[in-house]
Structure 1
Amino acid sequence: MGVGIRTAGEGDRELVTRLLDEAFQGDPVSRWIFPDAAHRGSTHPRLMGMFLDIVLAEGRVDVTEDGAACALWLSVPAAADGDHADEGDGPAQLRAAVDPDNERVELVGRLTDRAHPVGRAHEYLWLIAVTPDRQGEGLGTALMQPVLDRCDRTGLPAYLEASSARSRELYERLGFVFTGRTVDLPDGPPMWPMWREPQGEPEGESQDAPRGRPQS
Structure 2
Amino acid sequence: MTDQSAPSPPAVREAVTPDVAEIAALLGRAFYDDPVWSWLVPDEASRARRLAGLFEITLRRVHLPHGGTELTGRGARTEAAALWDPPGHWRVPFRVQATQVPPLWRVLGRRTPVSLRTLGAIEKDHPREPHWYLAMLGTDPPAQGNGLGSALLRSRLERCDADGVPAYLESSKERNVPYYERFGFKVTRELALPGKGAPPIWLMWRAPGS
| Residue number in structure 1 paired with 2:181 | 172
How far off is 1:89 after superposition? 6.8
1:43-100 deviation digits (Å, cap 9, x = unpaired): 222221122121012342111143111101101239xxxxx7x952765653332225
The answer to whether the aligner puts 1:125 opposite 2:131 as a matched pair is: no
The answer to whether the aligner puts 1:76 opposite 2:82 as a matched pair is: no
The answer to whether the aligner puts 1:151 opposite 2:160 as a matched pair is: yes
Query: What is the SS of the residue equivalent to 2:56?
Result: helix
| Residue number in structure 2 paired with 1:10 | 17
Structure 1 outlier segments of 4+, above 3 Å: 89-93
Describe the shift of the 1:21–1:42 C-alpha distance in structure 2 as closer, same or farther (beyond 3 A). Answer: closer
8 Å CA contact 1:115–1:183 kept in 2: the answer is no
2:185 maps to amino acid? F
| Residue number in structure 2 paired with 1:114 | 124
The answer to whether the aligner puts 1:104 opposite 2:111 as a matched pair is: no
1:163 maps to amino acid? S
| Residue number in structure 1 paired with 2:4 | none
| Residue number in structure 2 paired with 1:94 | 100
8 Å CA contact 1:46–1:98 kept in 2: the answer is no
Query: What is the SS of the residue equivalent to 2:110?
Result: coil
Percent identity among equivalent residues?
A: 33
1:61 maps to amino acid? T
**RMSD across aligned positions (CA):** 2.2
What is the distance in 2 between the residues matched to 1:2 and 1:129? 17
8 Å CA contact 2:118–2:193 kept in 1: the answer is no
What is the distance in 2 between the residues matched to 1:154 and 1:111? 30
What is the distance in 1 between the residues matched to 2:40 and 2:57? 15
What is the distance in 2 between the residues matched to 1:92 and 1:14? 22
How far off is 1:108 after superposition? 2.4
The answer to whether the aligner puts 1:64 opposite 2:72 as a matched pair is: yes
Describe the shift of the 1:39–1:134 C-alpha distance in structure 2 as closer, same or farther (beyond 3 A). Answer: closer
What is the distance in 2 between the residues matched to 1:106 and 1:11? 29
What is the distance in 2 between the residues matched to 1:41 and 1:18? 8
TM-score by length of 2: 0.83
2:131 maps to amino acid? H
TM-score by length of 1: 0.81
How far off is 1:33 after superposition? 0.9
| Residue number in structure 2 paired with 1:34 | 41
More helix by share: 2
Range 15-24 or range 103-112, more displaced: 103-112
What is the distance in 2 between the residues matched to 1:30 and 1:58? 24
How far off is 1:12 after superposition? 0.7
Unaligned runs of 5+ in 2: 1-7
How far off is 1:141 after superposition? 1.0
1:6-38 deviation digits (Å, cap 9, x = unpaired): 111111111111111110111111101111223
Range 25-34 or range 106-115, more displaced: 106-115
**How many residues matched?**
193
